[in-house]
Amino acid sequence: MIASWAVMRFLLVECKHAHRNSRKEVMNDLSRCINVANVVSVVKSKLSHSMHTLRIQ
């Protein structure tokens, strides 16, 4: 939970930095933020899935 909070905070800071830059850079940073968020959600789902399979065994 703390890790995801830290990631969200990091994303917020990154996106805020992006708004100071030009519009093109904002789009690049935004897509990067989205990519990071996607990776985090995938990793979290994989982790929860592996924990679930561990519990079954």
pLDDT digits (tens, 9 = 90+) for 1-56: 567 777 778 877 776 665 565 677 777 878 888 888 888 889 999 888 887 787 76
Token pair in block for residue 14: 């990154």
Number of domains comprising the chain: 1
Which pTM value belongs to this model?
A: 0.45
**Domain extent at residue 4:** 1-56
H-state helical runs in 1-57: 2-20, 23-56
Angle 10-40-29 from CA coordinates, rounded to 5°: 50
